[in-house]
Amino acid sequence: MGISIFGLGYVGCVSLGCLAKNGHNVIGVDISETKVGQINAGKATIIEKDVNEIIAGERAAGRISATTDGISAVINSDISIVAVGTPSTDKGHLDLQYIFRVAENIGEALKKKTSFHIIAIRSTIMPGTCDKFADIVEKISEKKRNVDFAIVDNPEFLREGTAVHDYFNPPLTLIGSDNRKAAETIAELYKQLPAEIIITELKIAEIMKYINNTYHALKISFANEIGNICTEVGVDSFKVMDIFCKDKHLNISPYYFKPGFAFGGSCLPKDLKGLQTLAHDMYVEVPVIDSINKTNEIQIQRAVKFIYKYWNKKLGFLGLSFKAGTDDLRNSPTVTVIEALLGKGCDITIYDKNINLAVLTGTNKEYIDSRIPHLATLLTNDSEQLINDCDVIIINTKEPEFLRLVDKLKGKIIVDFVRLDESLLDKNNYFGINW
């Protein structure tokens, strides 16, 4: 099929490469000439395992191109996938200006198109957004919904750092629409994947990402509270949670049930806040959900207090992004910890191979500029030098190279927020936040 993808960030770039790899001709659309140029040069717009190789290969095969001209992209495709950002406002509502601009763009394109067009939204949106999107397209194009075009919600369940693996190995594929033919056409895009395809109502599909991510956020905070209690009474919290996770019938998934550091990133904080705001707008009290972020903030302050015991020593941070294998700094709890410690006058050096300040763009760059504007003076490209120069080594992400750096380390204090490896637990100079 011919597919146009609006937005070349994490979801858009991964979808672009993976759909092309499955044999489709895909046009990427973005307002950023830099991102468009990267795709047309056969380079990914993000740091993500396997994406660069896929983009390079599919560009060479002629199945990928990119443009800033959304109208042309729609005219030359059968399906448009919308993957632009939907960031939170200060009050927790979604900022939908980017997604509605795409609706206007597609509406203008459909004025010039006679064939039936399908619009699939992959961006995270609240229930009712697809209807508003369709209304804009109808108004501008003067075409009829479910006659000249149809709208589908197709939420993504990709984790940064494992996005390509997740794309080809999803837990399920979810498609919401009021047009069965359009839903079945989108389902064809995923027929090669080893997962059940569920076709449901629009609003059910729209809300599922919030339900999933709010539950994931809850699991992390729950485990950290258990970890904090266990630590204070001298019980190994990992043994406790390992037994807890043996129950696969009711507890379902052990993935997030690991005591440790705070949650962060672009999805969990935003979607948690979004679901809270939705409940508030509907006058529904949700005290457990409302308390999750407070627990997360407590975990961050616990980390600050833990490290500040060594305020007079040189602190070396291994990892800055919110998880291994990504350059995403948005809502990284480590950024918050470092910001607090800098405010207390601590001497800090940071190593993260995935962070290249020269290529940070968009909300990622805006976030770090507002939190640690002088980050460049703290970063080093030499991990060995950091180990040699610093007295306290703080491990923040599960990069495999970090184990090699600290495995034989003596004469230094190691503080681990991610339980890097079980082999470190017996070291006298090793401390975990909850173990």
**pLDDT of residue 75 exceeding 80:** yes
Written in H, E and C, the secondary structure of 4-23 is EEECCCHHHHHHHHHHHHCC
**pLDDT of residue 253 exceeding 70:** no
Its sign, for the CA torsion 261, 265, 269, 271, is negative
* Beta-carbon contacts of residue 78 (< 8 Å; ≥ 6 apart): 1, 2, 3, 115, 117, 118
Residues 52, 83 contacting (CB under 8 angstroms): no
Say which residue, 92 or 39, is predicted with more confidence: 39
Query: Could you give the angle at which helices 202-233 and 287-308 cross, rounded to 10 degrees?
Result: 40
Which range, of 55-69, 176-190, 251-265, averages the lowest pLDDT? 251-265
* Beta-carbon contacts of residue 430 (< 8 Å; ≥ 6 apart): 414, 416, 424
Q: What tokens does 418 get?
A: 């991610």
Say which of 18, 230, 267, 346 is annotated catalytic: 267
**What is the largest distance, in Å, between two alpha-carbon atoms of the chain?**
72
Per-residue model confidence (pLDDT) at position 252? 57
**pLDDT of residue 251 exceeding 70:** no
Q: What is residue 426's three-state secondary structure?
A: coil
* 194-197, long-range: CB < 8 A, 24+ apart: 194/169, 195/169, 195/170, 195/171, 196/172, 197/172, 197/173
Which range, of 8-12, 29-33, 97-101, 367-371, averages the lowest pLDDT? 367-371
E strands of 245-286, at which residues? none
| Alpha-carbon gap, residue 8 to 114, rounded angstroms | 27
Per-residue model confidence (pLDDT) at position 263? 82
| Alpha-carbon gap, residue 79 to 118, rounded angstroms | 5
Average pLDDT over every residue of 412-434: 93
| Per-residue pLDDT tens digits for 163-200 | 999 999 999 999 999 999 999 999 999 999 999 999 99
CA distances 216 to 132, 253, 276, Å, are: 28, 10, 14
Per-residue model confidence (pLDDT) at position 254? 62
Question: How does residue 236 score in pLDDT terms, banded at 50, 70 and 90?
Answer: very high
Residues 320, 329 contacting (CB under 8 angstroms): yes
Average pLDDT over every residue of 334-362: 87
Question: How does residue 327 score in pLDDT terms, banded at 50, 70 and 90?
Answer: confident
Residue 322's CB is within 10 A of a number of other CB atoms, namely 27
Per-residue model confidence (pLDDT) at position 270? 85
Check if 267 is active-site. Answer: yes
DSSP code for 395:
E
Reported as half-sphere exposure (CB side, CA atoms, 13 A), residue 283 has a value of 0
DSSP code for 173:
E
Which range, of 85-89, 162-166, 431-435, averages the lowest pLDDT? 85-89
Q: Matching CATH topology for 2-200 and 211-432? A: yes
Domain ranges of the chain: 2-200, 211-432
Cα 435–301–311 angle (5° rounding)? 85
Question: Which stretch of DSSP H or E encloses residue 60?
Answer: helix 51-60
pTM over 0.85: no
Per-residue model confidence (pLDDT) at position 204? 95
In the CATH hierarchy, which top-level class contains the domain 211-432? Answer: alpha beta
Residues 212, 227 contacting (CB under 8 angstroms): no
Question: Which stretch of DSSP H or E encloses residue 333?
Answer: helix 333-343
| Per-residue pLDDT tens digits for 355-411 | 877 566 676 677 677 777 777 789 999 999 999 999 999 999 999 999 999 998 989
Q: What tokens does 252 get?
A: 């379902």
| Per-residue pLDDT tens digits for 305-322 | 999 999 999 999 999 988
Question: Is the domain defined by 2-200 classed in CATH 3.40.50.720?
Answer: yes
To the nearest whole number, what is the mean pLDDT of the chain? 90
